[in-house]
Amino acid sequence: MKFKKKKLISLGTFLVVVLLTSFAGYSLAGSNENVTLTNSPALFLSVRNGYNGGEKGPIQIVKGTLKKSSNDTKEAYLIMLSGTEFVNGQATGIVTDLMVGFNQDNDYLKAVVSAVSEAVPKDSNLIIAGHSLGGMVAQQLSGNKTIKKNYNILNVIAFGSPLINPIGREGTIKRLGDKADLVPYLSASGLYLPIWQIVGLNREDGGYTDSKKAHSESYAREDVWGNYDVLGIKNGSASFSYDETTITYYKAPSSIFPDSNY
């Protein structure tokens, strides 16, 4: 594949920042049966349970109830996607980062499409949330022909994720980015849609001087993002309730490097 000079520069920058902001893995939260996510930090904490060293996989799917007001409730499935994690045989490494950054088809996206098709009945409502690479894949999923044909995509919430080609996406897209987090500005889409890349990002200042910490810590902070609801809407009131014991995890195997963590 041939890239223009600007894309090669972006590619190098993307590699460096992804390496700096990748995760060694998060420990799983304690089990609570009935859970209500009332804001974006609560959603982020649930999303990052996908950082489990490949034990369960980066994809989580759970059925629940979306409540926007006392008169506006509906059933929906929450799809949660964690980001870059170096796990042998898992499609969450550098190669996937690059493929998604250039809006190319990839094993992570294929795994999510397969998991949703298996677990979620057709015509169901979907809410898709992801962090970093997971938020990029979430944007790809919202433009996937199979998903758009079979499901009703309500909202996409991306934490610390760059813009991925917005043409053909469905649902309300919200990208949240700490002012010190560099990752939300790094994608090929930003080369030809720089204004959209910037204007489409909801920014808050967590007071960080370290981009890595901003990328990994900011979105869990109530004092920074607590006034964003579960759909990523500032001063919104939406919440999502579900039974935590019904969450199903799915793996994202790599077909390119099945025995490595690339």
Interval 37-82: pLDDT, tens: 999 999 999 999 999 999 999 999 999 999 998 899 999 999 999 9
Going from the C-alpha of 116 to that of each of 68, 89, 249, the distances in angstroms are 24, 21, 11
Kindly state the percentage of the chain with pLDDT values over 70: 82
CA 84, 85, 86, 89 torsion-angle sign? negative
pLDDT band, residue 187 (cuts 50/70/90): confident
What's the whole-number mean pLDDT along residues 83-98?
Answer: 96
Cβ neighbours around 19 below 10 Å, total: 13
**Residue 255: pLDDT above 50?**
yes
Residues ≥6 apart with Cβ < 8 Å to 149? none
How many angstroms separate the CA atoms of 129 and 122, rounded?
A: 19
Q: Dihedrals φ, ψ of 160, to 5°?
A: 60, 40
Give the pLDDT confidence score for residue 166 in this predicted structure: 80
How many angstroms separate the CA atoms of 219 and 223, rounded?
A: 10
How many angstroms separate the CA atoms of 134 and 131, rounded?
A: 5
Please name the residue ranges forming H helices in 91-183.
94-101, 107-119, 133-141, 145-150
**Residue 9: pLDDT above 90?**
no
